[in-house]
Copies of this chain bind each other. A is one copy, B any other.
């Protein structure tokens, strides 16, 4: 399938070099987070070992631990609590991915076979549960229950967002409002709490913590909009995952909602017909209509506006290399092609 690049991907910032800068900046801490994460997950059951061995290959962007650590640096110092909780949020994120792969029946994730493809759905469900419960077990190593409380609350909202998404599947009249409610839950709650943890455990007062959390929330919404756009118009080889799954599962995302809201009446009928009976050609068939419309531009502009707002919240902090990287990540999250 050949498709023109969508506007949001036309001017990618130097993602590779940004990630390299972050890796330099946080190298020691990120390595420690990784150690904490895999040490917590260790098991003496042979079959669990096998799955863990496989799962180490799903190495992602580590956005959430990076948000914890960078927020901590921008707000003060990285403490042991930050590193432990960075592992916790990443573990919860991986748990949701493992369960998403069951729901989406996806066969690859980060260029590697998913757990359900390599084993089966049952194993994926239980392995996701294993990750969830280990996340809370790890969080409980801290003496107070504050972390369990804020992370528990965020994860509750993640589940609500996902349940609403499943419930609205196939609803071709999905409103922007409901779309935003869904992605605020399923994605932004976890990035918000990651940023919150960074600020809170660096000893910041409540108003600063609230601003940093708001940064994390808006970044998360923007990130998910970009992710949804990639699922629609991205390149499978670059993203390393099965694309077009939103269309296959009849999950309406922002560009499609915009397209339906602005298309001429005959076009809208054809588009609805395509959405109602998705197959492997749906992505390329929709491309024609997307190119005629402002849907991709509108989506990109919305994501960029959220990024601007996210960065404004950072101004509560003094300028620093860490604050700059937080702003860069926000920009990168919507300009990436993977």
Contact surface of A with B, Cβ cutoff 8 Å: 43, 45, 47-48, 51, 95-96, 99, 102-103, 120-123, 125-130, 132-134, 136-146, 148-149, 152-153, 155-156, 158-160, 162-164, 166-167
Contacts and interface: CB of A to CB of B under 8 A. Distances in A.
Nearest to A50: B167
Given A137-B148, A141-B145, A122 B159 contact: no
Contact of A143 (B141, B145, B156): B145
A160 B43 contact: yes
A interface SS class: helix
10 contacts: A95-B129, A123-B163, A126-B163, A127-B159, A128-B129, A130-B160, A137-B152, A138-B152, A143-B144, A145-B148
Assembly of this chain: how many copies?
2
A166 B136 contact: no
Contact of A137 (B95, B102, B156): B156
B47 A159 contact: no
A97 B139 CA distance: 25
B143 A148 contact: no
Contact of A166 (B123, B132, B137, B153): B123
Minimum-distance CB pairs A-B, first 8: A137-B152, A140-B148, A47-B167, A133-B155, A130-B159, A140-B149, A140-B145, A136-B136
A105 B48 CA distance: 23
Nearest to A123: B166
Nearest to A132: B132
A144 to B, nearest CB: 7
Contacts of A162: 126, 129
Contact of A125 (B43, B102, B133, B149): B102
Contacts of A125: 99, 102-103, 125, 128
Contacts of A160: 43, 45, 48, 130
Contacts of A158: 133
Nearest to A124: B125
Contact of A156 (B133, B141, B142, B152): B133
